[in-house]
């Protein structure tokens, strides 16, 4: 019986998520710094280039970031013209080691949170000078920003993910906006962390075999929630058991766009709009049911009993 019941319940245990942090690089360098982002170039030898928000105007010197021509301003993964951050081979001079950092504000995360971002190469051409990007995390009580050269990672000792870690040629680093994710682990409860993008290239620079131009966009941290957790955080349901009316009282200003009620066999027995924060259940047979609600913020499911 337990195995059968588990099989029946699984279709209702969907996943919603709560946004913890997001940033779209839609403004200026000053706006990014005001929001708490930090830049530091620790390349050796040190070049002039740092991370910056795109500021392209036409005509371009060449087609890049998917513009396809010199008369079209490049766009980010989302947000329109110039809505992305970028860094390039001029992080160092001659042929050197690039270690150029873009560091987030402090973000409180917990195990299971999903960090996501989009990145791509800038070139529209056919010659690949391999790029590499690391996403790193500092979970130290006091965050230390790298400051002593290309080998220094400060307290950003957790390597979350690396795009093209071996600096492979052949456009392994993607030429289109591509999403990469990391699931937070290894923490003890909620922790104030900082993440960092590290543009890290050996034998890079104007005279090196590696390094070109890359962009980053749509950085976010999201917390997966089981639908019952989402429901309990956003709605109060009463009475339970219910005889005639099931009240669904929104919290935090949420509103229900649609509801559905299913029985233990997965059959939909009622659905529609919620009127005056209540659902008529008088026509249901006595038993156990699941009410699912859909809002602009996500979906949730809760169990109730009909008398």
pLDDT in tens, the chain (307 residues): 233 333 333 344 445 677 899 999 999 999 999 999 999 999 999 999 999 999 999 999 999 999 999 999 999 999 999 999 999 999 999 999 999 999 999 999 999 899 999 999 999 999 999 999 999 999 999 999 999 999 999 999 999 999 999 999 999 999 999 999 999 999 998 999 999 999 999 999 999 999 999 999 999 999 887 677 778 888 899 999 999 999 998 887 778 889 999 988 778 899 999 999 999 999 999 999 999 888 877 778 889 999 9
Looking at residue 13, its pLDDT comes to 44
Question: Which residues 6+ apart lie within 8 Å of 249 measured at CB?
Answer: 235, 236, 237, 238, 277
Question: Which residues 6+ apart lie within 8 Å of 193 measured at CB?
Answer: 106, 107, 108, 109, 137, 138, 139, 187
Looking at residue 11, its pLDDT comes to 40
Name the nearest CA neighbour of 97 among 173, 149, 48.
149
Rounded to whole angstroms, the Cα distance separating 161 from 173 reads: 13
Which domains, from first to last, does the chain contain? 17-224 (2.60.120.200), 239-306 (2.60.40)
Rounded to whole angstroms, the Cα distance separating 22 from 5 reads: 39
Looking at residue 200, its pLDDT comes to 98
């Amino acid at each position: 019986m337990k195995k059968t019941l588990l099989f029946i319940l699984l279709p209702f245990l969907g996943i919603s998520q709560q946004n913890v942090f997001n940033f779209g690089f839609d403004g200026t360098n000053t706006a990014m710094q005001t929001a708490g982002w930090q830049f530091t170039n620790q390349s050796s030898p040190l070049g002039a280039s740092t991370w910056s928000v795109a500021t392209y105007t036409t005509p371009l010197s060449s087609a890049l970031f998917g513009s396809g021509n010199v008369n079209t301003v490049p766009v980010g993964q989302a947000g329109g013209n110039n809505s992305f951050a970028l860094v390039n081979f001029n992080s160092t001079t001659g042929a050197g080691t690039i270690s150029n950092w873009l560091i987030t504000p402090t973000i409180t995360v917990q195990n299971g949170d999903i960090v996501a971002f989009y990145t791509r190469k800038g070139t529209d051409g056919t010659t690949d000078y391999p790029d590499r990007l690391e996403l790193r995390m500092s979970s130290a009580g006091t965050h230390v920003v790298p400051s002593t050269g290309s080998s220094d990672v400060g307290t950003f000792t957790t390597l979350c993910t690396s795009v093209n870690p071996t600096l492979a040629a052949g456009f392994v680093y993607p030429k289109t906006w591509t999403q990469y994710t990391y699931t937070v682990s290894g923490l003890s409860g909620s922790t104030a962390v900082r993440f960092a993008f590290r543009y890290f290239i050996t034998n890079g620079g104007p005279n090196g075999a590696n390094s070109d131009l890359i962009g980053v966009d749509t950085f976010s941290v999201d917390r997966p929630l089981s639908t019952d957790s989402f429901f309990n955080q956003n709605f109060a349901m009463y009475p339970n058991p219910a005889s005639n009316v099931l009240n669904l009282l929104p919290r935090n200003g949420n509103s229900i766009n649609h509801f559905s009620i299913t029985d233990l066999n997965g059959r939909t027995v009622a659905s529609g709009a919620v009127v005056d924060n209540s659902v008529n259940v008088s026509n249901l047979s006595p038993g156990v049911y699941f009410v699912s609600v859909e809002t602009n913020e996500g979906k949730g499911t809760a169990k109730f009993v009909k008398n």
